[in-house]
């Protein structure tokens, strides 16, 4: 007498009670026409701030990468090869008093930005 009973044990019925939550109204697939390249992780947002050449011809407010202070850059105007070339052209073809013009014009010079706090080179603005 082992006492076994072949009684049908009531298996716990898993009942889904309650209404299923509706799917979100927005779809997660990309809009038509935009085919992601294979292997690309969808949803990965690569935020890259490129600050290689943010400088303009005017002093700008930025954070110094060297001393990490918020500074207004100090600009220095440096003549470039283009400046000398224009000066030579003016000298030969127009008149020599105009030679100094390209050196005085912002549009013919490089503008270098420096930190007034630590004199670090911030960036350059090339024409």
Binding site for Zn ion (CB under 5 A): 64, 66-67, 115, 117-118, 120
Q: Which is nearer to Zn ion, 55 or 108 (CB)?
A: 55
The least distance separating Zn ion from the CB of residue 77, rounded to whole angstroms, comes to 20
- Phi, psi for residue 106 in degrees, rounded to 5: -65, -30
Q: Which is nearer to Zn ion, 102 or 123 (CB)?
A: 123
Encode burial over 11-47: b for 16+ CB neighbours within 10 A, e otherwise. eeeeeeeeeeeeeeeeeeeeeeeeeeeeeeeeeeeee
- What's the gap between Cα 89 and its chain centre? 39
Q: Nearest approach, Cβ of 60 to Zn ion (angstroms)?
A: 14
Q: How far is the CB of 64 from Zn ion (least distance, A)?
A: 3
CB closer to Zn ion out of 88 and 118: 118
CB closer to Zn ion, 59 vs 79: 59
At closest approach, how far in Å is the CB of 58 from Zn ion? 18
Cβ atoms < 10 Å from Cβ of 82: 15
């Amino acid at each position: 007498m082992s006492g076994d009973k072949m009684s049908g044990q009531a298996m716990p019925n898993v009942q889904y009670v309650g209404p299923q939550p509706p799917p979100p109204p927005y779809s997660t697939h990309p809009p038509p026409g935009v085919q992601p390249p294979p292997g690309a992780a969808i949803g990965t947002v690569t935020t890259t701030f490129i600050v290689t050449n943010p400088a303009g011809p005017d002093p700008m407010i930025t954070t110094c990468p060297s001393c990490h202070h918020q500074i207004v850059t100090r600009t220095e105007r440096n003549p470039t090869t283009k400046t000398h070339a224009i000066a030579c052209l003016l000298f030969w073809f127009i008149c020599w008093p105009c030679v100094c013009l390209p050196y005085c014009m912002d549009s013919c010079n490089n503008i270098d930005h420096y930190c007034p706090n630590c004199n670090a080179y911030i960036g350059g603005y090339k024409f």
